[in-house]
């Protein structure tokens, strides 16, 4: 029997893979967390202008680190490590920058408000009512009017306006009455109870302690609260004025004034 050695040898040889197929890389998906981290890192740039975007800086860091960890754990499945690292880096840079600037500005605001509160305590103790009323005027308007002019304008108001004025200034006049009743009556600034921002205007609640000999009109110790408002002054920190005085006052009972809500028809509630 004749055997075809040539044909059998051909059939028995194993088939070799194509060189092109061996050179094709294994497909790896781009990590969605890495992409989101980069997008959040870019959005974190806007946190410089608005604190709302600060959350994107936090998300960029969290998503970036978790994406990088997953990519290292599954290198044959996921890719995009550079995107994750870039997103995390942007989040850290803008997040830390905004945090640092906000902390410094907050410290400066607090020191400015405390400085004005100490000055206001001195005016309450030694100044007159005219000067106290002058400090209730915003700084821009104070530049064009003196304390004496404010007092003259107050005395020349009509009867109806005078009644409203008496109601508005009742607390500060009663406080001044106590301080002027005896040289042993003292007042000093205690602390800021709260601080906030209403648009471009700063709001601070300053607590003052009043103490002296007890009498039939006044107890030995009382407290007063000043609602302070301030605006930024270029190169000069902040300028403040007194919006309202509450006397007598129970510590830690005041809340920051709420911003009126527009009902959509131009009416605030």
Which range of 1-15, 163-177, 178-192, 224-238 scores highest in mean pLDDT? It is 178-192
Retrieve residue 190's tokens: 């205690």
Rounded to whole angstroms, how far apart are CA atoms 226 and 205?
A: 6
Question: In this predicted model, what pLDDT tens digit does every residue of 222-239 receive, in sequence order?
Answer: 999 999 999 987 766 789
Cis peptide before 56 (omega within 30 of 0): no
Three-state secondary-structure class, residue 198 = strand
Hey, how many other C-beta atoms are within 10 angstroms of the C-beta on 161?
Answer: 11
β-sheet bridge partners, residue 191: 207
Q: Give the DSSP H/E element, type plus range, for residue 82.
A: helix 81-126
Binning pLDDT at 50, 70 and 90, where does residue 16 land?
low
β-sheet bridge partners, residue 30: 79
Retrieve residue 224's tokens: 């007063």
Closest CA to 121 of 231, 196, 209: 209
Rounded to whole angstroms, how far apart are CA atoms 71 and 162?
A: 74
Using an 8 Å Cβ cutoff, are 193 and 252 in contact?
yes
Percent of the chain with pLDDT over 70: 82
Find the largest Cα–Cα distance for the chain. 139
Rounded to whole angstroms, how far apart are CA atoms 64 and 87?
A: 6
Retrieve residue 188's tokens: 């000093």
Using the predicted structure, report yes or no on whether residue 253 has a pLDDT greater than 70: yes
Retrieve residue 8's tokens: 């059998």
Closest CA to 187 of 206, 202, 203: 206
Q: What is the structure's pLDDT at 235?
A: 65
Using an 8 Å Cβ cutoff, are 228 and 206 in contact?
yes
Rounded to whole angstroms, how far apart are CA atoms 264 and 62?
A: 39
- Average pLDDT along the chain: 84
Closest CA to 108 of 237, 242, 241: 237
5 CB burial (10 A radius; 0-12, 13-18, 19+)? exposed
Question: In this predicted model, what pLDDT tens digit does every residue of 70-109 receive, in sequence order?
Answer: 999 999 999 999 999 999 999 999 999 999 988 998 899 9
Retrieve residue 128's tokens: 């007159």
φ, ψ for residue 28, nearest 5 deg: -130, 135
pLDDT average, residue stretch 122-127: 93
> What distance, in Å, lies between the first and last C-alpha atoms of the chain?
110
């Amino acid at each position: 029997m004749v055997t075809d050695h040539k044909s059998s040898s051909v059939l028995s040889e194993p088939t070799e893979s194509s060189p092109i197929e061996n050179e094709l890389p294994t497909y790896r998906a781009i990590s969605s967390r890495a992409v989101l981290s980069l997008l959040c890192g870019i959005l974190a740039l806007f946190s410089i202008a608005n604190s709302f975007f600060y959350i994107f800086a936090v998300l960029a860091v969290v998503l970036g680190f978790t994406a990088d960890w997953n990519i290292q754990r599954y290198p044959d499945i996921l890719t995009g490590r550079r995107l994750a690292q870039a997103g995390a880096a942007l989040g850290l840079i803008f997040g830390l920058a905004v945090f640092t600037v906000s902390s410094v500005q907050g410290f400066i605001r607090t020191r400015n408000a405390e400085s004005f509160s100490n000055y206001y305590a001195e005016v309450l103790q030694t100044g007159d009512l005219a000067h106290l009323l002058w400090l209730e005027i915003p700084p821009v308007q104070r530049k064009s009017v003196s304390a004496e002019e404010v007092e003259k304008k107050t005395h020349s108001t009509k009867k109806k306006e005078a009644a409203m004025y008496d109601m508005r200034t009742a607390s500060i006049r009663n406080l001044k009455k106590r301080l002027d009743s005896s040289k042993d009556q003292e007042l000093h600034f205690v602390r800021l109870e709260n601080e906030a921002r209403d648009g471009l205007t700063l709001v601070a609640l300053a607590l003052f302690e009043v103490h002296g000999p007890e009498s039939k009109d006044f107890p030995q110790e009382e407290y007063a609260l000043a609602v302070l408002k301030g605006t930024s002054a270029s190169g000069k920190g902040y300028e403040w004025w007194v919006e309202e005085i509450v006397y007598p006052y129970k510590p830690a009972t005041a809340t920051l004034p709420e911003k009126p809500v527009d009902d959509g028809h131009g009416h605030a509630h």
